[in-house]
Structures are given as structure tokens and as C-alpha cells.
Structure 1
Amino acid sequence: MARNEQLIRQHKLLQLLELSRFGRTLEELRDDLVADLGLTKLHERTVRRDVEALQAAGFDIQNENVQRGRVFKLGQNTTDVHEIGISATELIALSIGRDLLFPLMGTQYWRGIESFWNKVQEAVPNGVFDHYARYRAALHVFGSPTKTYEKQEGMLKTINRAILEHRLVEIEYQSIGKPISTRKIEPYGLAVYQSSIYVVAAESGTESTGQRLRNWKLDRFHKALILDEYFRPDEDIDLSKYLGSSIGIFSGEASAQVKIRLSPRSAAYVREDPWHPDQGLEQETEDSFLLTVPASHPREILPKVLSLGADAEVLGPEEFRSTVAEAVSKMAERYPNVPPSP
């Protein structure tokens, strides 16, 4: 049994028990878990083992016999565990994190975030909340696209279930500028990057897992259908390493070390806002710096280099330099006979 599958199920169990004032029978808990997690089946024995595991972890889950059978509910000690003290600075930090996660609004993830936020608001003293409100009025979080994945909640549930059960998913996917195509994918996980959700998956039927793994943008899914076909996960895949191997979402097993010559002005910008944790920035001459940064695809380098204008030059690899040179050439054709700036 996958460890994360068990943890997700037990977390959902706690949510169900928290919402139940008069307790739930094992059968009721099982039915709710099947419905909320999108499972095909779940035995009551498994639910009982999960309840026992939570009790062993220190949660006060009590049971009693009532007319409809033996019910389980959270005791007072468990309620006390959830009561926390929070300061104004902690409240500010929490609210900023909540703002950054707005793209998850409408999904199962957001419901947990919003439920916790509401409890915090109710728990803090009025004076602390007033202090927080004054500070928060002077601090604004912006720059993230205003979009949510509320309409894709059903697809997210399907994909989550496929990740837990290692099952193939048939999708209708439309890349930008291309027609809709039907694909089969082997999903490994989800990633949130710049307010967009991506499904990290390998396309079924292709060779070499390292080359197959890619990030599929959820916005481009038209349909997701879980299949009664299973895949064997590659134990050598480390999603944290995979996703951190490049600048942006164009991640992969084999990233290139891209070398870019920068002016002192551009180097200062890159020093202030690094492109990658493993980048290197060294001074070459009095008027130039050399930036070395890992990247998996020329398209993730292109917008960053173009944003620096003539103050940045890609030196290599050749594929990355050629991509930027081609873009610059086509842009120059768009602006013929434009006099240079004074």
C-alpha cells in the first residue's frame, strides 16, 4: 500500500470526524471516503485500521454504541490539540500564503485552506485581529494571474486517484496552436508553478522513463478518464529533483548548463532576483558578467533573456543561442526602419 495513499485517507478521516457532531459508523466513514476520494472500493477493515492508527498517533477518537450501531467521534482532547495561539505577525504570514494559493480556489485543496483560515479568524482575540488588519491593509500581494481551477475540480479528483492507485488516465489534451489529441498518461504527481497546476506524468507506450516524463498543464485538459489499466512506477524517479533541475516548468532529467554574458546592470537584476538556486554569476571583465544556469528547454531561457534586451547574450549551448538569435531576427523584421534611440 502506498504510504501517501494511507496518509491522505487518514487525513480525510479526521476531516469527516471533525464535521460529525454525533459520530459516524465504520460503514458511514467508508462510504464517505469512497465518495470524497473517488475510490472504487474500500473495506471496513481498512477504515478500522486507519482509525486505530490515528488513535495510536495520539488522536482522541472515542466510540460508543447508539441505536444505529457503534459510532466513532473525536473526543475533547483532540479538539484541544487544534486550538492554537497565533500572533499578528503569524496571521499576516498565513494570509499572504493564502493569497498566493488563490489559483487552488474551488478545489479540494482550497476547502482545507479556507476552513483553517476561518477557524483562525474565530480563534484569535479581537485585539490581535485588529492589529493584523491594520498591517495587512498596508501589505498587498499581487502579480499572480487571477484564475482558479474550480471548473477542473472533477479532473483533479480523477488524477489524484490515478496517482494513488498507479492507474493510466486517458486524456484529451490540446497544446497551444495544435488540435486536441487523445493520450494515455501515467501520472506521478502535481506541481503548482506561477499560479498554474501541472500534472507530472509519463506518456504511456514511449521508451525511457527519464525522457518520457513531462509536465502537462491542467488548463489544456479537455477530459480525463481513469482506466482499468495499471502502471508500475519507476522507483528511481525523484519528483523534487526532477522539478528542481531547471529554471521553470520545462523540467527534465537532462538539463543543460546555459552560459549567458550580462552587462553589470543586468547582472544586478539577476543577483536581486535569481533565476535558479544553483545558478552561478561571475565577473568576467569590468563591463561583463557570466551567468551559468541550468535549463531543460530553450523556451524557458528565451523570455528571460529577451527581457534584458541587448544587455544579455546567450553564449551556449548552440541550441539555446540559436533559439534566441532566431527570435531576435524575427523581431527585427517586425520593426523595419526604426531609428535607434538617442
Structure 2
Amino acid sequence: MSEGRVSKENAERIHKIVQRIRKCGAVTIAELMVHLEVSRATLKRDFDVLRDRLGCPLVWDKRKRGYVIEDGQLPGGGPFELPGLWFSSSEVHALLAMLHLVQGVQPGLLEEHIGPLKARLREMLGQGAYSAKSIDRRVKLIHFANRKLDARNFQLLAGAVLDRKRLCIRYWNREKHEATEREISPIQLVHYRENWLLDAWCHARDALRSFSLESIESAYVVDKVAIEVDESTMAEHFQGGYGIFAGKARHTARLKFSAQRAQWVSQEVWHEKQTSKWLEDGSYLLEVPYSNDQELLMDLLRHGDQVEVLGPPEFRARMFAILCAAAEKYRTDAS
């Protein structure tokens, strides 16, 4: 082994040695030989690299009857860490795959930050058995109906969320067809159904609100500290209802899916507090809490005649009215 760079194969093995000791507390050479599938001589050389070149306080502990890392022996009191970025090939591949998926969530949004990290990870893989470039071909994230975002706007908003700074935004309201300006305390960014939302405390309304990022026409940071909202209040407001509609759930939809469609729906989680059961005829009963029925109606319409709304009565009536109005548009085709 050269006195300079540790080879890729040796680096991976050394990483696994440290990882194993951290996990088990103490290990013997015999255990490591089996775990790493290497000879005693190879393991001794790896121990020398750890001690002499990497400064690892690797010692034999008589009481534990195994090798341990004595962090207390380090000048700063530990804990010992491998220098730089040390990952095994499988971990690097996993990281590259995750970064590829992050880029896919909003293409181009974080390219200037993720690009250099991906390049560094590819360097770590070198000319290994697997091609890092193949991840771009083998791992796909297919989008549907995602809305375009201004990357600069996203970074400004994300920065304010993490720095806990208030924002002044100009927001376009699609329903009222008007723009409003308001000061907000950003709380969290949410990626939901292909699109980004900003949950925040609106100082103009003195209440929690969700803002679609693509509807934020402009924004700038205000030199004020953002207020904090406790997690229980956030959960009650944003997670009680169905989908993106906030508010405490006041109703429970009873939905009966056909035996055919149930093969898919039975594997899905529509709400964290949903309940379900199989019926004798093979159909599937799903009960879902909701506050606003708009999004739930849209989700049910894609199932067509494979689902029946059993209740509440007003929700069933709403579904009936929508289906009748839709059928009316095709009445001339059927005659």
C-alpha cells in the first residue's frame, strides 16, 4: 500500500471495521475476518493504517475481550471519525440515487448545490464495478401536472424557513383573481402531489395559512424574527382534514370500492386515521376523516363506477350531483 492515498478497496474495508466496532462495542479479529471475508494478515495491515495513518485509538480491551475505539485517548476527547467523506460503494450508490430523486422532485431547482456533491460522489466510486452514470438511466422519477417554480424564489423562501426570518410576499389568489401583499412567518416547506407549499403564520390574518409557491409572485426577507408555532398546533391544523385542506376533521366518508379496484386501494394510505375492512362480497370499505370534501371528491372521481359513497348523506348527494352534471355533458353522444 502506498504511503499516500488509501486504495478504494482498503478504504471500504476500513470504513466497515470502524462501523462494526461502533455497532458492536467490541469485536475480535476472528469476528472481523468472518464479517469482512479477509485474512488475519490483511486485517492486521488495516489496523496499522487505522492507528498509524488515521490516528484511530484502536486498542484491545481485556474486560470486553475485543478491540474497541477509545475515544477518550484523542486530544479533543473524541469521538474518532474517519477523515473526509468515507462511504462504501453501496452507500455512495444509495446517496447518488437519493440525490437523483431530489433533483427529480423539481428539476434544476437545486442543481448548483447538488451538482458538485454528485460529482464528488462519482469520484469516490472511481472505476468500480458499477457505473455511477447508470443511476440516471436506472432510477426514474416521472412527473405529472407539476407546476413550474422560480428557482431563485424557492431558495429565498427555503433560506427564510431555515434562518427563521419573516417574509413579505405578494400572493396571487386564484379563486378571487386578485393579488395581496402580506407579512408572514414561514414555518415549513411541504412537497405535496408534485407541488410545493409554504406553511406559515400570516400576520395579516393572524392565523396559519398554506401558500402555493408558484402563486407567490415576489418575496423579500424582512429583518424580523419569525414567530414559532408549536408542533401540536401545526398537527391539529394541517393534518386533521383530508389532503391539503386544513382544519379539524368534522366528517368521516364511508367509501365502498369494488373487489377489482380494492386490489389497489387496500394498499393505499389516504389518511393517517383511516379505518378499513373487507366485506363479504369481496368489496372494500374505507372510512376517511375530512373537513373539506373538495379534494376527496376529485380523488374519488378517478375511480369512476368502481367506488360508491355510502355516507355522509350530504357528501353522497354532492357526488351524485357532480356525476349527473358530468353525464349530462355526454347525453347527446349516447342518444
TM-score w.r.t. length of structure 2: 0.63
- Change over 3 Å in CA distance of 1:98–1:267 after alignment to 2: same
% identity of equivalent residues = 20
User: Does 1:119 pair with 2:105?
Assistant: no
Shift of 1:100: 4.8
- Number of residues of Structure 1 aligned to a counterpart in Structure 2: 261
User: Does 1:311 pair with 2:306?
Assistant: yes
CA distance in 1, matches of 2:77, 2:192: 34
Q: In the alignment, which residue of structure 2 is the partner of 1:98?
A: 100
CA distance in 1, matches of 2:163, 2:294: 32
Q: Aligned partner of 2:267: which letter? A: E
Q: In the alignment, which residue of structure 2 is the partner of 1:302?
A: 297
Please list every run of 5 or more consecutive structure 2 residues that lacks an aligned counterpart in the other structure.
1-74
Q: Aligned partner of 2:100: which letter? A: R
Residue aligned with 2:271, SS: coil
Q: Which has the higher helix share?
A: 1
Q: In the alignment, which residue of structure 2 is the partner of 1:171?
A: 170
CA distance in 1, matches of 2:312, 2:171: 35
Shift of 1:91: 1.4
Output aligned runs, 1:124-203, within 5 Å. 124-130=125-131, 137-145=137-145, 149=149, 151-154=150-153, 156-158=155-157, 160-161=159-160, 164-175=163-174, 178-203=177-202
Shift of 1:300: 1.6
**Contact kept? 2:199, 2:210, Cα under 8 Å:** yes
User: Does 1:276 pair with 2:271?
Assistant: yes
Q: In the alignment, which residue of structure 1 is the partner of 2:334?
A: 339
1:149-177, CA deviations, whole angstroms, 9 ceiling, x for partnerless residues?
A: 3x242454156326633535342323257
Please list every run of 5 or more consecutive structure 1 residues that lacks an aligned counterpart in the other structure.
1-54, 61-76
Q: Aligned partner of 1:118: which letter? A: A
1:304-329, CA deviations, whole angstroms, 9 ceiling, x for partnerless residues?
A: 11011112122334554344333222
- Change over 3 Å in CA distance of 1:129–1:191 after alignment to 2: same
TM-score w.r.t. length of structure 1: 0.62
**Contact kept? 2:185, 2:200, Cα under 8 Å:** yes
Q: In the alignment, which residue of structure 1 is the partner of 2:35?
A: none
Q: Choose the corresponding residue for 1:84, options 87, 93, 110.
A: 87
CA distance in 2, matches of 1:285, 1:146: 40
Q: In the alignment, which residue of structure 2 is the partner of 1:220?
A: 215
Q: Aligned partner of 1:264: which letter? A: A
CA distance in 1, matches of 2:245, 2:286: 19
Shift of 1:231: 5.8
Shift of 1:205: 4.0
**Contact kept? 1:103, 1:147, Cα under 8 Å:** no
**Contact kept? 1:170, 1:227, Cα under 8 Å:** no
- Change over 3 Å in CA distance of 1:280–1:338 after alignment to 2: farther
**Contact kept? 1:245, 1:253, Cα under 8 Å:** yes
| Larger Rg over CA atoms | 2
CA distance in 1, matches of 2:317, 2:76: 60
